[in-house]
Structure 1
Amino acid sequence: MGRSRQGGEPVTATLQTYTHDDTSRTLETEKGVLHYHEAGDGPPLLLLHGSGPGVSGWSNYQGNLPTFAKHFRTLILDFPGFGKSYSCDENPMLAALPAVLDFLDGMDLGPVPVVGNSMGGSIAARLASGHPERVKRLVTIGGVGTPVFSASPPEGIKLLVQFVEDPTRDRLVAWMESMVYDKAILTPEFVESRWKTASDPAALSDVRKLFNAATLAAMRGPNGAAAVSQVEMLSRIQAPTLITFGRDDRVTPLDSSLLPMRLIRHCELHVFPNCGHWAMIERKDEFESTVLAYLLRDREN
């Protein structure tokens, strides 16, 4: 939060407060209703959330919305199978990219900067790779690349599968603890909010399509084909790209950044110390400062 001087005294700049319901919007598509949040003026900015129990666009980015909305018309999309968007019969990962394209078309958006966390980062990278005309700048928070040295599957994914197979509050907390460096941010209110949505039967059904025993088996098996696919995808990204990682990420380990850092032509890397998988929550101020500085370069050129 910025500070300025007025009458010789430091004054803390205030940000507008937004609520879930005031920013809630829907878009009708042929496949169903896509839910999103919208706030702010200026050029559009698209935020894509990660995966997991109780996750939505709002749960990922509600704390960052006031800062981004000062500079951008900020759009936070719920993927199919998450939040209030339509449920999908297939794996939500397969439905996500087509839904983003439907959203961009339905909102009549030209090339936009895209910020994605975890699954959202992966989808944003695939969007930039396969549809370069759609992405002005790309920012990812974990979720991109493949581990070079770390064991697979990572701890966070194993704990996530344990939760969806036996969805107890204790298992949810264990998974949430693997997502952060400092457990102090997991306040009772934060945990209760996630538990309320994560224990919903419909939400659990969609998450189970993405994370299950078969997921773990695939991650343990030979990954040569997946690595080749990653190389091909990353090499096609032309948009200026900022990759961000938490140094202590136990879901997408830091060594996952090595491949995209080398293969994406216009790529920068920022690592947040003492930070897990949710950099936008755990290192909120540093994250917003770093990402805004990167996105606002277009205003200066």
Structure 2
Amino acid sequence: SGCVDVTYENTLREVGTEKGVLRYHEVGDGPPLLLLHGSGIGVNGWRNYRGNLAAFAEHFHCYALEFPGFGVSDPVRGHPVLTAVDSVVRFMDALGIESASVVGNSMGGVVGANVAINHATRIDKLVAIGGVGTNIFSPGPSEGSRLLQEFADNPTRDGLIRWLNCMLFDPKLVTDELIEERWQAANDPGALRTIRAMYGSEAIARQQQFLADSDVPPYWSMLHKVQCPTLLTWGFDDRQCPLDMATIPLRLIPDAELHVFPNCGHWVNTEAKDAFERVSIEFLRR
């Protein structure tokens, strides 16, 4: 897309909130579209969406938000998923965005769904890339989650490479550049704390104990409260969030549809880039 200049420096912005600075990448014109990134090793909003921003920016005013705790926005205390949900509402309030559509990658889709459950008027449409739901037939934790746990407990370059190979269907996409970039990012102390808070053995044990002791239902049991039209996008060969996870959101969300991409792993917006952009933009503009 030649008409949109999407470089890191040209698009990076920041906004102050009562809980610190939130940073984001802004580009394009049209209705507001929030792009919410996933979790994992060395991840952030820019790395998730830099390849997709030009296509979306031709139709939408795009904001790729950097969640607290991933080395870009100011960190805050609390579980990374919950602080991310809070950061979306803070961000929209700070910029005066009353409502927006959301593209959420993996954890970003879960965050988008949680905002839609708890702040129904803020989300117009939701595109989720994997992530939303829970395992029904496939083993849990998934292969990808087990590799994340191994890395969180003992961060090694080999562990990163094993996880990257699990994310993608085509091993040729795991390049030396990708490995090096993610390895450098993963060594950021804040990013390491976040991955341990989500996937470390101790954190997972604490979460399981909390769920056993509390009356709080899992978020996926509340998906019937998502009132906005929702597009679930999934790689057929996703080993992080296997395809059976889509069954519950597809059943519970009143206006949900599912698009499955062949020969594609967890990183749908990378591995099936052109098809994903086409399907998502059609849905968002419908």
User: Shorter-normalised TM-score: what interval?
Assistant: over 0.9
The answer to whether structure 1 residue 98 and structure 2 residue 86 are counterparts is yes
- Per the alignment, residue 35 of structure 1 pairs with 23
* Separation (CA, whole Å) in 1 of partners of 2:283 and 2:40: 28
1:261 pairs with 227, 231, 250, which one? 250
> Are the aligned partners of 2:71 and 2:188 in contact in 1 as well (CA < 8 Å)?
no
- Per the alignment, residue 5 of structure 1 pairs with none
Aligned in 2, Cα 1:263/1:127: closer, same or farther, shift over 3 Å?
same
Deviation string 1:170-199 (CA, Å, 9 cap, x unpaired) is 111111111111111111111111111111
Pairwise CA RMSD of aligned residues? 2.1
- Per the alignment, residue 7 of structure 1 pairs with none
**What's the CA shift for 1:208?**
1.1
* Separation (CA, whole Å) in 2 of partners of 1:104 and 1:55: 22
2:48 pairs with 56, 60, 73, which one? 60
**What's the CA shift for 1:83?**
3.9
- Per the alignment, residue 197 of structure 2 pairs with 209
- Per the alignment, residue 99 of structure 2 pairs with 111
- Per the alignment, residue 188 of structure 1 pairs with 176
The amino acid across from 1:255 in the alignment is D
**What's the CA shift for 1:237?**
0.7
- How many residues of Structure 1 are paired with residues of Structure 2 in the alignment? 285
The answer to whether structure 1 residue 246 and structure 2 residue 207 are counterparts is no
**What is the correspondence of 1:142-181 to structure 2 with a 5 Å cutoff?**
142-181=130-169
Deviation string 1:207-230 (CA, Å, 9 cap, x unpaired) is 211111135547889x89899534
- Per the alignment, residue 262 of structure 2 pairs with 273
The amino acid across from 2:121 in the alignment is E
- Per the alignment, residue 236 of structure 1 pairs with 225
* Secondary structure of the corresponding residue to residue 268 of structure 1: strand
The amino acid across from 1:150 in the alignment is S
2:285 pairs with 285, 292, 296, which one? 296
**What is the correspondence of 1:38-49 to structure 2 with a 5 Å cutoff?**
38-49=26-37
Deviation string 1:104-126 (CA, Å, 9 cap, x unpaired) is 10010022110101110001001
* Separation (CA, whole Å) in 2 of partners of 1:220 and 1:274: 33
Query: Which sections of structure 2, spanning at least 5 residues, go unmatched?
Result: none
- Per the alignment, residue 200 of structure 1 pairs with 188
The amino acid across from 2:114 in the alignment is R
* Secondary structure of the corresponding residue to residue 43 of structure 2: coil
* Secondary structure of the corresponding residue to residue 133 of structure 1: helix
**What's the CA shift for 1:37?**
0.2
The amino acid across from 1:50 in the alignment is G
- Per the alignment, residue 276 of structure 2 pairs with 287
The answer to whether structure 1 residue 78 and structure 2 residue 69 are counterparts is no
Q: TM-score, normalised by structure 2?
A: 0.94
The answer to whether structure 1 residue 128 and structure 2 residue 116 are counterparts is yes
* Separation (CA, whole Å) in 2 of partners of 1:251 and 1:234: 21
Aligned in 2, Cα 1:46/1:87: closer, same or farther, shift over 3 Å?
same
* Secondary structure of the corresponding residue to residue 274 of structure 1: coil
* Separation (CA, whole Å) in 1 of partners of 2:126 and 2:190: 32
The amino acid across from 1:281 in the alignment is T
Q: Give the % identical residues.
A: 48
Q: TM-score, normalised by structure 1?
A: 0.89
**What's the CA shift for 1:206?**
2.2
> Are the aligned partners of 1:153 and 1:220 in contact in 2 as well (CA < 8 Å)?
no
- Per the alignment, residue 57 of structure 2 pairs with 69
* Separation (CA, whole Å) in 2 of partners of 1:241 and 1:52: 24
**What's the CA shift for 1:88?**
2.4
Greater gyration radius: 1
Deviation string 1:38-74 (CA, Å, 9 cap, x unpaired) is 0011111000000012100001000000000111110
Deviation string 1:71-90 (CA, Å, 9 cap, x unpaired) is 11100001110141011232
